[in-house]
Amino acid sequence: MKEGSITAAEAVEAGGADAPTEAATAPAQRRRPWRLVLMLSVPLLILVGGLYLWLTSGRYVSTDNAYVQQDKVSVSAEITGTISEVAVHENQKVRKGDLLFRIDPRPYRIALEQAQAQIADAQVSVSKLRAETLGTAEDVQAAESNLGFSQRAFDRQAELLRRGFTTRAHYDEAQHAVQEARDRVATARANVQIKRSALAGGPASVQPAVAAAIATRDKALLDLKRTEVRSPIDGYVSQTDRLQVGNAVVTGLPMVTIVRSGESWVEANYKETQLTKMAPGQPAEIHLDAYPSAAVRGHVASIGRGTGSEFSVLPAQNATGNWVKVTQRVAVRIAIDSDAGRPLLAGLSAKVKVDTQEQPLPPARTAAR
């Protein structure tokens, strides 16, 4: 062992009995401040949490019974026929007026040609009727002229009979001729009235027969135009499984659905007990299950005028005797104010939280949104 070095035992003997005590109390003194911090932080956190819950209690109402909604239009044909062409496919974007599908137009072209032939036939009939009316007017003049001649012949026979220069038989014949002439005048005048009553005043297009034929032609044109079924709105094509070449189309049967693009909202079904402080215009926060990282802002656009059970196909009948009180839900429409950054699809699940302590937006601003 080198000179000047001492062992541990010698050091303990040299230090005396107080050296171990000081070494043991040093770590305890270093841990004492942390214990104090921990003892104070726990009650402080509890106090802060309780204060936050007290301040925000009842302020926010949320529900996960919410879904993205979009306007949908079911497109159906207005005529019957067979599909001859399909111009769209599933999920295709279309604009208003784009062709969706075409119905076989051949039967409707034939109907249009028949209607045009009916117009020509009606015009011929009107021209013929006008000519007949002119002819009956001339018949009246001839009948009146004949009546005048018969009347003069009768007057002569009456004068001759008075003087005794003719027989009673000639007189009766002249008198009968006058009566026949009068009957022919009456018949001719009646024929004129009949012919004129079949004609309306004005040009040929306003004549009843021609007008009916023109209406038939217009309907045939409309039916031919309806063989091309076009999109009524801008959107995306959906449910195109029935659009197959050769399929029969029935009037009024939906063939395809167009989901309107650019107009989305969230329908949140809140419990009736959550509507106490809710009002249109209050801000809302929307979280979509499909896009968890996207927080979408919105506001309460409107509150439904009835519960879901009131608008169901078979409303509940609570007067049956087996009544059980069930908390009802009311549909609240949430308008979307910010961009989600991703396409909003109809039916996506969402969670909505409404701040009921915020002042509602002014009515004009709410309506503008």
Q: 242 and 93 share a domain?
A: yes
What is the tens place of the pLDDT at every residue in 308-329? 888 887 877 777 777 788 889 9
| 48 within a domain of the structure (yes/no) | no
Domain shared by 317 and 275, yes or no: yes
Take residue 246 and report the two structure tokens written for it: 């050769």
Q: In this predicted structure, what is the pLDDT of residue 259? A: 93
One-letter amino acid of 330: V
Are residue 147 and residue 137 in the same domain, yes or no? Answer: yes
Per-residue confidence (pLDDT) for residue 27, from 0 to 100: 60
Model confidence, pTM: 0.64
Smallest Cα–Cα separation from 142: which of 179, 187, 173? Answer: 187
245, 83 contact by CB (below 8 A): yes
Q: Find tokens 């009316």 and name the residue.
A: 133
How many separate domains does the chain show? 3
231 and 218: one domain? no
Residue 322 domain flag: yes
**Residue segments in the chain with a per-residue pLDDT below the cut of 50:** 1-9, 11-19, 364-369
Q: Does 139 share its domain with 78?
A: no
Q: Are residues 233 and 182 in the same domain?
A: no
Domain match, 120 and 217 both: yes
By DSSP bridging, strand 329-336 and strand 295-307 are: antiparallel
* CATH assignment of the domain containing 272: 2.40.30.170
Pair (270, 129) in one structural domain? no
pLDDT at 2: 45
Residue 8: per-residue pLDDT: 46
Q: Does the residue 24 lie in any domain? A: no
Is residue 347 assigned to a domain?
yes
pLDDT value of position 137? 66
Verify that 274 and 352 share a domain, yes or no: yes
Domain presence at residue 81: yes
Q: Which residues constitute the domain of residue 350?
A: 60-70+262-368
pLDDT at 362: 57
pLDDT tens profile 329-366: 999 999 999 888 888 888 999 999 999 886 665 554 44
Q: What is the CATH number of the domain that holds 89?
A: 2.40.50.100
Are 115 and 100 in a shared domain?
Answer: no
Please write the tens of the pLDDT for every residue from 60-94.
899 999 999 999 999 999 999 999 999 999 999 99
